[in-house]
Copies of this chain bind each other. A is one copy, B any other.
Amino acid sequence: MVRQPSINAQNRAPLSIERIIDAALRIVDGQGLSRLTMRRLGDALEVEAMAIYHHLPRGKEQLLDGLVAHVAAAPATPGGAGGAWREDLRGWARDYRTRLLAHAGVLPLVVTRRNPAALTETVVSLREVMRRGAVPEDAAAVAAHALLGYVIGHAALEVRGTAEDGADRAVDWDARFDAGLDLLLTGAG
């Protein structure tokens, strides 16, 4: 009789980088970044913390790098169905913002020096949209960083919940994000 390969002697699936990152992301989203410890992560995976090091030799650094890669990766580029590249950029920015806000606990890690490669793919995907719109290369370079910076920075402001000056009336962040985006896309004319 053949043992099922996905069930080991202790009757649980073997560890994998994907499962580790998934569990870590669930802890950060649910309890905050400061609650992510190797020991707690081990508990969530029903394994001793030290087992994680077998899959992530660089330890917690590598774990955090993985979280950044997962969250900061480019959103699916909208199908470039002709003409409306400006609308494509708007969609790109909205999708990316949504992803960042869905994992707000990881945002501080995105801002850290770690994992330099994590955002290059993202910039590439932005530049592609612009190339389809025949934006000149040097203007596109500026616009890409400006747009990406705006999205990340605005997400940071939202997470912080910056109060309005003086009055404490609520801010409609969705509307405000779109309005700022328009400012930027107008200038990128």
Q: Footprint of B on A, CB under 8 Å?
A: 104, 107-113, 116-117, 119-120, 123-124, 127, 141-143, 145-146, 148-157, 159-166, 171, 176, 179-180, 182-189
Choice from B143, B153, B163 contacting A152 with Cβ under 8 Å = B153
Q: A119-B162, A153-B153 given; name 14 further pairs at CB < 8 Å.
A: A110-B160, A113-B160, A113-B161, A116-B160, A116-B161, A123-B164, A127-B165, A141-B176, A146-B184, A148-B162, A149-B150, A149-B155, A152-B153, A184-B184
A–B Cβ pairs within 8 angstroms, 13 of them: A104-B113, A108-B108, A108-B109, A110-B111, A111-B156, A111-B160, A112-B160, A123-B165, A148-B162, A149-B157, A150-B184, A152-B152, A152-B153
